[in-house]
Amino acid sequence: MIHTGLNNKTVVVTGAAAGIGKATAQRFAAEGCHVASWDVKEGEPEAGGMFQKVDVTSTASVDAAVKEVMDRWGAIHVLVNNAGILRDGQLVKIKDGALASTMTDEQFDSVISVNLKGVFTCTRAVVPSMIQSSGGAILNASSVVGLYGNFGQTNYVATKAGVIGMTRVWARELGKFNIRVNAVAPGFIATDMIKGMPEKIIDAMRTRTPLGRMGQPEDIANAYLWLASDAASFVTGAVISVDGGVVTGT
């Protein structure tokens, strides 16, 4: 059995009301961690943990949540920057030779604000407590599309590629404080968002995945757990693909 060294550690998970975030909060709680679950939606705390309604795009909201966690547990050892949204659309869409639509400013700005600025805002707020605690682990949600691109996702791909860039910068800046920073790049994961897609789209996703199945939220949660654990103590600045070997297409 791998010794994780995570028992009684304090973990913040953003976007924890459902999906991968919820599974991640549950996995850390099962390891004996104190888990602070953050989301803009209503949610439930894990056993022994707390749920906080937090807007990751708001410095005031994040700072207040960090203070509440620190007041309760005195430290933050792990931050999982999982919160993210989709606002898909083509850069420009042509129909019958004419411009039919474009990706709007709102579509672009809202995704950048949550998926990229939100990671920045939460990490900036949590790092001082990690320095005080002589180290920690920051885990950022990228995506397979951040590595390879994807049709109709200019905004989302920009954020997920940007997260990889920030991960590598912070690994360099924070290593001297014994803070490790890594990213996970999920493939096609069976969340509620995916399950609502047409069956033919889901079948196409499975076909592109050599392991022949959709990933489960628990697959990503397990990757986060390992990266946060003592077993990954010499891993920083890495991007771990958890995608079943997916082959992306056009």
Tell me the per-residue pLDDT of 44-74, one tens digit each, with 9 for 90 and over. Answer: 999 999 999 999 999 999 999 999 999 999 9
The structure's pTM equals 0.94
Q: Phi/psi at 108 (nearest 5 deg)?
A: -70, -50
Tell how strand 98-102 and strand 92-95 pair up.
antiparallel
Tell how strand 179-186 and strand 239-242 pair up.
parallel
CA dist 157 and 148 (Å) reads 9
Query: pLDDT at residue 196 above 80?
Result: no
Contact residues for 113 (Cβ-Cβ < 8 A; gap 6+): 57
What radius of gyration, in Å, describes the C-alpha atoms of the chain? 18
Q: Structurally, what CATH architecture does the domain formed by 10-240 represent?
A: 3-Layer(aba) Sandwich (3.40)
Tell how strand 239-242 and strand 98-102 pair up.
unpaired
Band of the pLDDT at 113, cuts 50, 70, 90?
very high
CA dist 36 and 67 (Å) reads 12
Can you give the pLDDT at residue 105? 97
Band of the pLDDT at 203, cuts 50, 70, 90?
confident
Band of the pLDDT at 194, cuts 50, 70, 90?
confident
- Give the residue-averaged pLDDT of 119-143: 97
Give me the catalytic one of 28, 38, 51, 156: 156
CA dist 123 and 170 (Å) reads 9
- Give the residue-averaged pLDDT of 190-205: 81
- Partnered with residue 180 across adjacent β-strands are 137
Band of the pLDDT at 241, cuts 50, 70, 90?
very high
Band of the pLDDT at 1, cuts 50, 70, 90?
low
Structure token pair of residue 14: 């953003």
2-18 pLDDT per residue, tens: 678 999 999 999 999 99
> What residue type is assigned to position 222 of the chain?
N
CA dist 220 and 33 (Å) reads 17
128-139 pLDDT per residue, tens: 999 999 999 999
CA dist 248 and 89 (Å) reads 18
Concerning whether 148 is annotated as a catalytic residue, the answer is: no
